[in-house]
Structure 1
Amino acid sequence: MAEATPHVGSRVRYWRLRRNLGRKQFADMVGRSTSWLDKVEKGERELTRLPLLERVADALGVDPAALTDSIQAARTAQCVDAAEVQAIRSALGRYPGLSARDSGRVGVVGIQRQAAYLDQAWLSSHFAVVARHLPQLMDDAQRAVLVTTAAEQVAAYRVLVTTYRLASSMLLKFEANDVAWLAADRAMHTALRIDDTWSLARATRSVARAMTSTGQRDEAIATSLDMADRMHDETNRNEQELLSLYGMLYLSASITAAGQDDARLARDMHDEAMAAALRLQPHHRTHQTFFGLTNVLIHRVSALVRLHEAGRALEFAATIDPATVAALSAERQANYLLDLTEANTQAGRYREAVRLLGRAELVAPEEVRCRPLAHGLLRSLLHNTTGEPARMVKRMADRAGVTA
């Protein structure tokens, strides 16, 4: 039997839970009782009056069509939205140490578990999940570093750095660059407070990416290389924990150099990363970097795309074993497929570009349906395809809410 189409009340409940709003809290926000809300969410009472529907939608931070129109509801639910970006911004604007009310103990094991869960959601390109839970984790991690024992201090600070990094990385995906820079800067200052090389290396990657997004490419490269120099000797003594992070600093510098059309520096940085990867096992992966030979190779493709060398990018990609790419996270695979889509578009190979973009959507739907980068590719392909490829692009664009 076909599943019934969700009613307005079920969508109200979905968004209430996604906004982390309790029943009474939300009922108070719209000036109604919890019994009224229960009936609405169960479909026993309809939201037929437009003023009330608009009040409910406004309290949830969504367009009324996200509650009443099935197509718009599906599009809205799959992506991080402005209210969630604002919630992350608000979390960055809170300072628990200023308030005596925030002195309660927060368990380090609990926030480590939640950080691991959100890291996995990120690697799976489930960005709406990250956005829903990240502000609370940020609050908890900020409080944890205030009250932690000496034995747990490094662990607590590492979680806080991780939360700031997640915030910065996700905001960069959705081109909220100024807020992403703030989150990355918080990560760096937090890492400097604990003087932990692991934390500093992770924070530096975030700062470098945020600098790149705001046009500070020279500074981004210098920051990455300064950190690589700083950790070089310690990395030799502690390869298991630090070598993957060391290599990722060079990959970050390589991509940034490519973005400023410095092909030689991009190649040099790639070679440094490759040297680090060759010191590891082929499928080595730690600390959510998925660092290793395959990740270094697909970053080279990304650099060549940014250098507008589409032909070389596609030739290089043809040498990479697809099975090793399939072993990477969904987030890494999807970004590689987006790079290949861009390379084929640059080369005028639109049919292949459409095929690869379709594969990216299968691997990680949110990467294609929600990201501005992918939306740009969709618009380009809408203008440059005919026949069946054009129909395929149109279907993808419809799912993403993109028009030509």
Structure 2
Amino acid sequence: MEPTDEHIGARVRYWRERRKLPRKQFADMVGRSTSWLDKIESGERELVRLPMIERVAEALGIDPAVLTDEPSAQRAQQCVDACEVQAIRRALAAYPGLNTGTPEAVDLGQVTAQASYLDHAWMTSRFTVVARHLPTLMAEAQTALQTAAGADEVAAYRVLVTTYRLASSMLLKFEANDIAWLAADRAMHTAMQAGDTWSLARATRSVARAMTSIHEQTQAIATLLAMADQMRHEVSGNAEQLLSLYGMLYLAASITAAGQEDAGLARDMHDAAMAAARRYEPHYNDHHTFFGLTNTQIHRVAALVRLRECGHALEFAGTISPEAVAALSAERQSNYLLDLTEAHTGVGNYRQAVRMLVRAEQIAPEEVRCRPLAHGLLRSLLGNTTGESAQLARQVAIRAGVEA
């Protein structure tokens, strides 16, 4: 069914606001008046001529079909797009410290609260929310550090590390690996300036993941273990604040070693993480890591999948409490289900693989519909399933915009 003009106008307004374009600026970009734009967005005036639809779409950085086709519109709205990745890149290219004059102070409390909000959005796999607000937050966090003094300095360093880490994680999700490395490196240098163990441990995980993405696994593992060695004594005296960060270093090392097909080291790193997890108590601060026995266990499944030991991965997964997994964040749950999807595919159990993928989509739609990794799994299933499973896979593919 063809969309009504009101639907097209609503989409124009949605994308204009998502791009943070003021009415006057956008109207100028398409060579029209603000009154024309108001009528289009309200549905009072028709937007039917293809050249104008194309001009509006180009100004918004979207395909014209996103304005005129309902499935295309839905897919585009739920996913991070190239313009938003580019906005993160531009934010990383800014060096506010080079500007002359004294920067206008920002409210560190508000910047910290916004960073916490985006951290939560990340954990619930709402990546479009992170992408839309992260460039602005990055600039505000940089200014907050420039203007912080005394007791506020550590908090300012921490919030800037958090923004760089979010930038790196976002870029890795969407395979912009070289720029992800830059963001992680910024996090690491900021943490080193702070001399704060919390900041260093979190930045180290990011930089190791970025190193891995550019095939520097050996250096990534060395960096993770160096940080673990450096903070070991401090963890003994402050386990409540630091144990989860310490344990997550070993989990990252186990996954990286598995990617190198070093089964022995992957197992050793898992055992070290388990030792930390057994010391862990629920009232300890997990710093949004969801560290604990369950997260450690599902990381073992991920490592076994990367070692191509899919049968063993499924056997181990059978020992993990589903209720405990359900208590993790949506991001953790969905990635575990994607690992199970790959494991079932690896042993030829395509029907169960489709079920895992469908469950992952239900928990975190953006993980499945928008990520290149999930699209690769989906294409494999489309070519190997029949009957009801094939129908389910095709339905997911339609929502994800993946061609059969």
Same fold per superposition (TM over 0.5): yes
Distance 1:143 1:281 in 2: 36
> Which residue in 2 is equivalent to 1:253?
253
> Which residue in 1 is equivalent to 2:200?
200
8 Å Cα contact 1:124/1:329 also seen in 2: yes
> Which residue in 2 is equivalent to 1:23?
23
> Which residue in 2 is equivalent to 1:180?
180
Distance 2:215 2:395 in 1: 34
Please state if 1:399 is matched with 2:399: yes
Distance 1:45 1:117 in 2: 38
User: What is the SS of the residue equivalent to 2:32?
Assistant: coil
Distance 1:282 1:147 in 2: 36
CA shift, 1:166, in A, is 0.5
8 Å Cα contact 2:8/2:68 also seen in 1: yes
Distance 2:95 2:313 in 1: 46
CA shift, 1:32, in A, is 2.0
> Which residue in 1 is equivalent to 2:84?
84
Distance 1:61 1:284 in 2: 45
Correspondence 1:95-174 to 2 at 5 A:
95-100=95-100, 103-174=103-174
> Which residue in 1 is equivalent to 2:50?
50
CA shift, 1:49, in A, is 2.4
8 Å Cα contact 1:125/1:331 also seen in 2: yes
| AA partner of residue 258 (structure 1) | A
Correspondence 1:170-319 to 2 at 5 A:
170-281=170-281, 286-319=286-319
Distance 1:256 1:225 in 2: 12
Deviations 1:41-61 (A, max 9, x none): 101112222222222111111
CA shift, 1:29, in A, is 2.0
Give percent identity, aligned residues only. Answer: 70
> Which residue in 1 is equivalent to 2:12?
12
8 Å Cα contact 1:330/1:363 also seen in 2: yes
Distance 1:212 1:342, change over 3 A: same
Bigger drift between 46-55 and 192-201 goes to 46-55
| AA partner of residue 25 (structure 2) | Q
Please state if 1:388 is matched with 2:355: no
Distance 2:258 2:371 in 1: 22
CA shift, 1:235, in A, is 1.1
8 Å Cα contact 1:96/1:102 also seen in 2: no
| AA partner of residue 20 (structure 2) | N
Distance 2:117 2:101 in 1: 27
TM-score where L is the length of structure 1 = 0.97
| AA partner of residue 203 (structure 2) | A
Deviations 1:136-188 (A, max 9, x none): 00010011111112211111110100000001011111111011101000100
Distance 1:394 1:6 in 2: 30
Distance 1:73 1:339, change over 3 A: same
| AA partner of residue 136 (structure 1) | T
Distance 1:4 1:322 in 2: 45
Distance 1:280 1:378 in 2: 37
8 Å Cα contact 1:257/1:265 also seen in 2: yes
Query: Aligned-residue CA RMSD in angstroms?
Result: 1.4
- Structure 2's unaligned 5+ residue stretches are none
Distance 2:150 2:62 in 1: 44
Distance 2:279 2:142 in 1: 36
What is the number of equivalent residue pairs in this alignment?
Answer: 402
> Which residue in 1 is equivalent to 2:364?
364
Distance 1:283 1:382, change over 3 A: farther
Distance 1:146 1:284 in 2: 32
Deviations 1:304-329 (A, max 9, x none): 00000011000000000000000000
Distance 1:64 1:20 in 2: 19
User: What is the SS of the residue equivalent to 1:100?
Assistant: coil
| AA partner of residue 298 (structure 1) | I
Deviations 1:304-362 (A, max 9, x none): 00000011000000000000000000000000000000000000000000011000000
